[in-house]
Amino acid sequence: MALSWSAKEHKNTNQPAVATGLKRPRNDVGNKVAVVLGAQWGDEGKGKVVDLLATQADVVCRCQGGNNAGHTVVVDGKEYDFHLLPSGIINPKSISLIGNGVVIHLPGLFEEGDKNEKKGLKGWEKRLIVSDRAHLVFDFHQVVDGLQETERQAQEGKNIGTTKKGIGPAYSSKASRTGLRVCDLLGDIKDFSSKFKNLVRQYQSMYPSLTVDVEDQLKKLKEYGERLRPMVRDGVYYMYEALHGSPKKILVEGANAALLDIDFGTYPFVTSSNCTVGGACTGLGIPPLNIGDVFGVAKAYTTRVGIGAFPTEQLNAVGELLQTRGHEVGVTTGRKRRCGWLDLVIVRYAHMINGFTAIALTKLDILDVLEEIKVGIAYKLHGKRIPHFPANMDVLQKVEVEYETFPGWKTDTSAARKWGDLPVKAQNYIRFIENHIGVPIKWVGVGKSRECMIQMF
C-alpha cells in the first residue's frame, strides 16, 4: 500500500479515541495554525503583519528566540516595540503564549511589559501564558555574550555583532543540558539555587573575569518567579487544548529570520535558534499536520544588522537612501542597518525551507523616490549561475549578483489602499517578485501603521 501523509487517509481507520484518555478520534487533526516568518535577515515587518492578523486571532505565540527580536507595531499613531512579548499582546481579546522554544530573560520581560503599560497597554499580565519548559536567560548569559564577542574580535579580528541579549549562551546552556527552565525556578528553590550556582561556576571556569553576585541574583530571580507564576502553564497541554478544543485562530509570530536560522542561515553569522517553520513545531509542541498558512515577510529591499555576507548590499548613495528613508535602525540595539537591493535568491531559499503559502511585501513606499530599482535574481560563481544558496560564507562573499532593473515609479504610494491605487510600474515590480518566487503576494506594505497594508486577496 502506498504511504499517504494526508489526514483524510486516517479517516477510515475507525480508530477509537486514543487510549491515553485524550478524548479525540484519530481523524481529528484539529485547528490549523498560521505562521508568520521573516524571509530575509530580520526586521522585515513581522510585527506589523502579526498585528494585522492578531486582530482576529484567539492565541498569538512566540516559538523561538528571545529579546534579541525587536518587533514594531504602530496603532492609532502610537508606536510599540516588542521583544519577548508576542506582538498580539496588543489585542485585548487574544491570549499571548511564550512557548518552550523561547529563551526568557525575566528582567527584560517585565521591563518590556511595564514600559508598554506606560504607553497604554493594559492587562498584559492577564493575557500572557508562559510555557514551563522555556529556558531562562540569566544576566550572566548576557555578560558572557559580550565577553564572547570581545574574544571573537581579539582572536579572529571579527565578531558576530550579536544583540548581547545572552541568546547564544542561553541556547548553549540548553544544548549542553545545564540550562535552567521556568519549571525549575518555580519548583524546589533549593534545587534551583544549587543548579544555578553550578552553572555560574561552569561559566566562571571558562571566563575567569566573570563576576556574579549569586545571592543577589537568586533573590531577584525568586521575586521574578513569583510574579511569573500565575502566567505559567504546561505549554504542550495548553497548545493541545487550543488545537483540539473549539475552533480557534492560532497565530505563531516568528522572530529573527530564515537567513539568521542556526541551521539554514549564513552560519556562523546567525542567531542560535530555528527561525524557520520547524521552529514553530518544536518551539510550541505543534504537530506538523496542524501547520496551515505559512506567511513569509520580505521587505521590498534588503537589510541586515550585524556582520556577515550580504551580496546585494549597496555601500553607496542607494544604500544610504534606503537607510535614511526606511529609518533602518535596529529596534533592539539602535544600530544602523546595512541596506541593499531586494535579493530574490535569499527569499526563494527561505521559501524552499518554509514552503510559504503567501508573502507580505513590506516597505514598498521606501522605493517611491528611486529613478531605477534593481532586484537580485541569481548568483554567479566563476561566471556561471548556481542553482543553490551557498553554505560556505567565503563562497557567498564571492558570488556575483545578476540583477533585473526596473524603472522607478517616482510616485508617493503611502496613501494607496488597494491594488488599483498603485502606479503601474510598482504593480509590475510586485508581479515580477511574485512570479520569481512562485508564491502569491497577499499584502503590500506602504507605511508604518496598521491601515497602510494593501490586501491583494
Active site residues: 43, 71
> Nearer Cβ to ligand IMO, position 260 or 322?
260
| 270-295 burial: b if 16+ Cβ within 10 Å, else e | bbbbbbbbbbbbebbbbeeebbeebb
User: Residue 298, exposed/middle/buried by CB under 10 A (0-12, 13-18, 19+)?
Assistant: buried
> Nearer Cβ to ligand GDP, position 30 or 254?
254
Task: Identify whether the C-beta of residue 28 lies closer than 8 Å to the C-beta of residue 426.
Answer: no
Site pattern 308..347 for ligand GDP (x: CB under 6 A): -----------------------x----------------
Site pattern 302..321 for ligand IMO (x: CB under 6 A): ---xx---------------
Task: Identify whether the C-beta of residue 137 lies closer than 8 Å to the C-beta of residue 107.
Answer: no
70 binds ligand GDP (CB under 6 A): yes
Number of residues that bind ligand GDP (CB under 6 A): 22
> Nearer Cβ to ligand GDP, position 30 or 447?
447
| Residue 162 binding result from ligand GDP, Mg ion, ligand IMO, none, given CB thresholds of 5 to 8 Å by partner type | ligand IMO
**Binding segment (CB under 6 A) for ligand IMO, from list 109-117, 154-162, 415-423, 426-434:** 154-162
Long-range contacts of 200-203 (CB under 8 A, 24+ apart): 200/140, 202/178, 203/140, 203/144, 203/169
445 binds ligand GDP (CB under 6 A): yes
Site pattern 38..67 for ligand GDP (x: CB under 6 A): x---xxxxxxx-------------------
> How much is the CA Rg of the chain, to the nearest whole Å?
23
Rounded CA-CA distance 337/322 in Å is 10
Minimum separation from the CB atom of position 258 to ligand GDP (A): 12
146 binds ligand IMO (CB under 6 A): no
> Nearer Cβ to ligand IMO, position 161 or 423?
161
Minimum separation from the CB atom of position 329 to ligand IMO (A): 11
Grid coordinates in use for 187? 519548583
Minimum separation from the CB atom of position 331 to ligand IMO (A): 6
Residues 68-87 interacting with ligand IMO (rule: CB under 6 A): 68-71
Task: Identify whether the C-beta of residue 409 lies closer than 8 Å to the C-beta of residue 421.
Answer: no
Number of residues that bind ligand IMO (CB under 6 A): 23
Nearest to 331 by CA among 28, 83, 19, 155: 83
Nearest to 192 by CA among 167, 157, 219, 171: 219
- Write phi, then psi, for 75 (nearest 5 degrees): -130, 130
Residues 240-279 interacting with ligand IMO (rule: CB under 6 A): 255-257, 260, 269, 271-272
Grid coordinates in use for 121? 497597554
How far is the CA of 342 from the CAs of 64, 161, 361, in angstroms?
26, 22, 11
448 binds ligand GDP (CB under 6 A): yes
Minimum separation from the CB atom of position 396 to ligand IMO (A): 15
Rounded CA-CA distance 163/307 in Å is 11
Number of residues that bind Mg ion (CB under 5 A): 3
160 binds ligand IMO (CB under 6 A): yes
Find residue 385's DSSP bridge partners: 380
Minimum separation from the CB atom of position 455 to ligand GDP (A): 13
Site pattern 34..53 for Mg ion (x: CB under 5 A): ---------x----------
DSSP SS3 for 98:
strand
Residues 82-101 interacting with Mg ion (rule: CB under 5 A): none
Grid coordinates in use for 233? 502553564
Residues 6+ apart with CB under 8 A from 221: 106, 136, 138, 185, 192, 196
70 binds Mg ion (CB under 5 A): yes
Find residue 79's DSSP bridge partners: 74
Site pattern 134..153 for ligand GDP (x: CB under 6 A): --------------------
Q: Which residues bind ligand IMO (CB under 6 A)?
A: 38, 42-43, 68-71, 160-163, 165, 167-168, 255-257, 260, 269, 271-272, 305-306
Q: Which residues bind Mg ion (CB under 5 A)?
A: 43, 70, 331
Q: Which residues bind ligand GDP (CB under 6 A)?
A: 38, 42-48, 70-72, 74, 331, 362-363, 365-366, 445-448, 452
